[in-house]
Amino acid sequence: MEREGVAPDAVTYNTSIDGCGHMGYINRTFDTLKRMMDASCEPDYGTYCILLKHLLKGNLNVSYVDASALWNLIELDTFWQFLERMSQYCLNPTMKTYSSLIAGFCKASRIKEACVLLDHMRRKDITPNEEIYMSLIKCCCDRKFFEKALLFINNMIECGFQPHLDLYQLLIPGLCNEGEFEKAKSLFSDLLELRYNHDEVAWKILIDGLLKVGHVGICSQMLSTMENTQCCISSQTYAMLTNGMHEASGSLVGALQGEAN
């Protein structure tokens, strides 16, 4: 391909790396990785999964590792081994390296291992990107580590990133589910100072967030906060929200009356 002037892409390199790994040529997998990076073709999430899969296969002395189970099986020792192999080929881990590996551990809900990699990259003076923070926050919310998720939200903002509303949609109802209403209200007030569309805030946080999980009271308080800070909510969204709160309140009263009877 290269002799004919056609530059291999990430898919081509990944296929070559996987093929070498299947034949047991682990050194060739890293040789191909070096050629890939030297050619300014950035490895992607799939590249790192393939490399780690074949390293793990050797460590476990098995002929096959199910890629779908990779992040449940792999331990940090394999990651350190991976970095050592990269060093032998004069390759340094990049932002994409850490982003891919942290995302992998987060997909397996292994926030402890993800945070170890986060600390490691910071010691290398690599600042986490938006993708890394999003993976960490989602994982924390899935594990109900809402305090840690709140810390990452603040870190993200300090680094100049604006968190997606989807993250607040996970975190604010989560804090309320844990009885942390004041923290939820404080976080909501903070997000109103950011550059979000107020209709989207009302939909994602209040209608699709708090009302869906039955937090009518705190939803009403947050709507009042929006009104007091002169947020611009369309009449249609406002009607949908107030009707939703009325219906949810009626359902709650009905349920309480049913329990009393």
CB 222 within 8 A of CB 206: yes
> What is the residue-level pLDDT of the chain in tens, covering all 261 positions?
556 656 899 999 999 999 999 999 999 999 999 999 999 999 999 999 999 999 999 999 998 898 889 999 999 999 999 999 999 999 999 999 999 999 999 999 999 999 999 999 999 999 999 999 999 999 999 999 999 999 999 999 999 999 999 999 999 999 999 999 999 999 999 999 998 999 999 999 999 999 999 899 999 999 999 999 999 999 999 999 999 898 887 654 444 344 444
- According to the model, what pLDDT value does residue 67 have? 84
Closest CA to 59 of 43, 74, 37, 39: 74
Residue 2 tokens, joined: 């290269």
Q: Tokens 């050592």: give the residue.
A: 84
Closest CA to 100 of 42, 149, 59: 42
Is the pTM higher than 0.85?
Answer: yes
The predicted-structure confidence for 71-89, as pLDDT tens digits, reads as follows 999 999 999 999 999 999 9
Distances (CA, A) of 49 to 16, 126, 173: 14, 21, 33
Domain boundaries, the chain: 164-261
DSSP for residue 43: -
Q: Which amino acid is present at 83?
A: L
